[in-house]
Structure 1
Amino acid sequence: MKPPLLLIGQGSNDDAYSAEFGRFVHRLRCRLDQTAVSGGYLQHATPLLGESVASLVARGHHRLVALPMSLGRAERDVAAAMALEQQRHPTLMYDGTRPLGADPRLLALLADRLTEAAADISRPRPLELVGARPRLRAVESAPADEFPSHVEPGETAVVLVGEGSTDPDANAEIHRVSRLFWETHAYDYMTVETAFVSVTPPGVPGGLERCRRLGARRVIVVPYLLFAGGLLERVWAQALAYGAGHPELDIRCAEAIGDCEALADVVIERYEEALQLVP
């Protein structure tokens, strides 16, 4: 019997993130129908990692493959969390995987989101209040004469937005991804700049301002995020706020990578690689 696959999410208070993460776990269960697949969060959402591990152990699984569902460097957080679970369950053993990172298939998915945003004539979405928290909703397309009807790729810049971290190596990795993305999928565009949602500069407004000063007529904001949720909405909200002060600049926002078969292919490959190391 193959060891279970445990997908580890960072966790979010946002229901959209939890829902999409849950759909992706279900997709993996369908793809790996002879393997137990479970998901757990490090914080902020249920099931927590400890609950998922306890459930697997109770079902007789004492070895598993742990895969962080993150595009950042989550190895330290996951290692610390799994060490705690091993203290709680002394018989538990686990194998890690290679990070998802800048896999060529993920870069291709980013290119798909870029293409979708370039073809969509809607502006960044304004905020409306739903319950106690701001949420985003779609609006009607901008009037046809508000922006130039045709903008060459050479006049269009891209801002790739990562989460941001206190770890310099993690932030440097986002810059590396931006360069790889520019050279492999966005070489026709004026530039691919790097920005971060929080913690470290430049933020989304800083990335947009650099593109404006370089002479871009259109800027497409591409979130380097796996799933929808609070972080994605913060990216959109920051882009919207900047755009309100620069109406001459056509700013468009792409979606996150999202639950899809291509992402599942990458995760399954990481799982199968880890299995090769299991004695």
Structure 2
Amino acid sequence: MKPPLLLVGQGSHDDAGSAEFGRFVHRLRCRLDRTAADVSGGYTSKARPRLSDSIASLVARGHHRMVALPLSLIEDMRADADLLSVMALEQKRHPTLSCDYGRPLGPDPRVLTLLAERLADAAAEVASLRLVPAAAGPFDDEPERIEIGETAVVLVGDGSTSPAANADVHRVSRLFWETHAHEYMTVETAFVSLTPPGVPGGIERCRRLGAKRVIVVPYLLFGGGVLDRVWAQAMAYAAGHPDLDVRCADVIGDCEGLADVVVDRYEEALGGVIC
């Protein structure tokens, strides 16, 4: 039997985000059950289930070796250090426990493909964040046709006090533009909090570059409070700029494509473990 997979969430006070994390853990549990591997998950802080409770449950079920995999899109040395610190404490509580570590998801090509799918969905929608038409005419007037070259993208990261983590989001923006969004006017980078530019700043830069439409793409795994803040900031900007078509894409979310990346990270971390 393979060691269990322990999915490590970054923590959130938001019930919606925790619920989607739970659904994703269940998806992985169903996937890996076919290969006789247990799956659990928890948060290092803030939200429930707590990582310590999930580890205690796995140990109680007879597991003493596991693979911990951070569900993170950013390779953050501080977050890695926090995880190692948490796991060191758990190993003191459970002396027989040993742990291998999987790589963060990062800008895996399949993650960028999922972002491109969310972008395409937002670009195809008829409705935008404008609550009233820009002109005084009726709502059923023929909308102005906006070409893809007149459309800009704002990739929005969570934001961090770590310059390296923020730089990683800028790197992802460039990768995304070159691999999936090169037909768009540009891909700008913005952050929800902690570091500039914010979402309004990212959209404003696109407007000044001449964009007629801006699509905000959250670089986030799951929905919840952070996504709500992204949309709220975008809607507030759109309300003050009725001539600009502002749209928001959805998060990557609980899906099979994301599960494929996690399963590969798990198998990679197992290395030479014999089933």
TM-score (norm 1): 0.90
The answer for the alignment partner of 2:51 in structure 1 is: 49
Residue 192 (structure 1) aligned with residue 187 (structure 2): yes
Report the more deviating stretch, 263-272 or 35-44.
35-44
The answer for the alignment partner of 1:10 in structure 2 is: 10
Name which of 225, 229, 232 aligns with 2:220. 225
* CA apart distance, 1:144: 4.6
Q: Indicate conservation of the 8 Å contact 2:158/2:226, yes or no.
A: yes
Identity of aligned residues (%): 72
* CA apart distance, 1:11: 2.1
Q: Which runs of 5+ in 2 are unaligned?
A: 132-137
The answer for the alignment partner of 1:179 in structure 2 is: 174
The answer for the alignment partner of 2:135 in structure 1 is: none
Determine the C-alpha separation between the residues in 2 that align with 1:49 and 1:169. Answer: 26
Q: What is the number of equivalent residue pairs in this alignment? A: 263
Determine the C-alpha separation between the residues in 2 that align with 1:78 and 1:172. Answer: 21
Name which of 132, 141, 144 aligns with 1:149. 144
Determine the C-alpha separation between the residues in 1 that align with 2:259 and 2:146. Answer: 35
Q: Indicate conservation of the 8 Å contact 2:156/2:190, yes or no.
A: yes
The answer for the alignment partner of 2:134 in structure 1 is: none
Name the aligned partner's letter for residue 223 of structure 2: A
Classify the secondary structure of the residue corresponding to 2:55: helix
The answer for the alignment partner of 1:65 in structure 2 is: 67
Q: Indicate conservation of the 8 Å contact 1:95/1:278, yes or no.
A: no
Report the more deviating stretch, 192-201 or 53-62.
53-62
Matches within 5 A, 1:107-126: 107-124=112-129
The answer for the alignment partner of 2:22 in structure 1 is: 22
Determine the C-alpha separation between the residues in 2 that align with 1:268 and 1:230. Answer: 27
The 1:210–1:144 alpha-carbon spacing in structure 2 relative to 1, beyond 3 Å, is farther
Determine the C-alpha separation between the residues in 2 that align with 1:262 and 1:85. Answer: 31
* CA apart distance, 1:12: 1.6
The 1:14–1:144 alpha-carbon spacing in structure 2 relative to 1, beyond 3 Å, is farther
Determine the C-alpha separation between the residues in 1 that align with 2:29 and 2:130. Answer: 34
Determine the C-alpha separation between the residues in 2 that align with 1:52 and 1:144. Answer: 54
The answer for the alignment partner of 2:99 in structure 1 is: 94
Determine the C-alpha separation between the residues in 1 that align with 2:260 and 2:268. Answer: 12
Instruction: List structure 1 segments (4+ residues) > 6 angstroms apart after TM superposition.
Output: none
Q: Indicate conservation of the 8 Å contact 2:130/2:245, yes or no.
A: no
Determine the C-alpha separation between the residues in 2 that align with 1:189 and 1:173. Answer: 21
Residue 163 (structure 1) aligned with residue 158 (structure 2): yes
The 1:214–1:144 alpha-carbon spacing in structure 2 relative to 1, beyond 3 Å, is farther
* CA apart distance, 1:45: 2.0
Residues 56-113 of structure 1 deviation map (CA, whole Å, 9 limit, x = unaligned): 1111111100011111223222222212212222221111111100000000000000
Q: Indicate conservation of the 8 Å contact 2:153/2:214, yes or no.
A: yes
Determine the C-alpha separation between the residues in 2 that align with 1:176 and 1:109. Answer: 17
The answer for the alignment partner of 1:35 in structure 2 is: 37
The answer for the alignment partner of 2:245 in structure 1 is: 250
Name the aligned partner's letter for residue 254 of structure 1: A
The 1:83–1:125 alpha-carbon spacing in structure 2 relative to 1, beyond 3 Å, is farther
Classify the secondary structure of the residue corresponding to 2:247: strand
Name which of 246, 250, 254 aligns with 1:259. 254
* CA apart distance, 1:165: 0.6
**What do you get for the CA RMSD once the two structures are aligned?**
1.7
Q: Indicate conservation of the 8 Å contact 1:124/1:236, yes or no.
A: no
Q: Indicate conservation of the 8 Å contact 2:5/2:266, yes or no.
A: yes
Determine the C-alpha separation between the residues in 1 that align with 2:227 and 2:209. Answer: 25
Q: Indicate conservation of the 8 Å contact 2:129/2:245, yes or no.
A: no
Report the more deviating stretch, 105-114 or 147-156.
147-156
Name which of 255, 265, 269 aligns with 1:274. 269
Determine the C-alpha separation between the residues in 1 that align with 2:130 and 2:91. Answer: 45
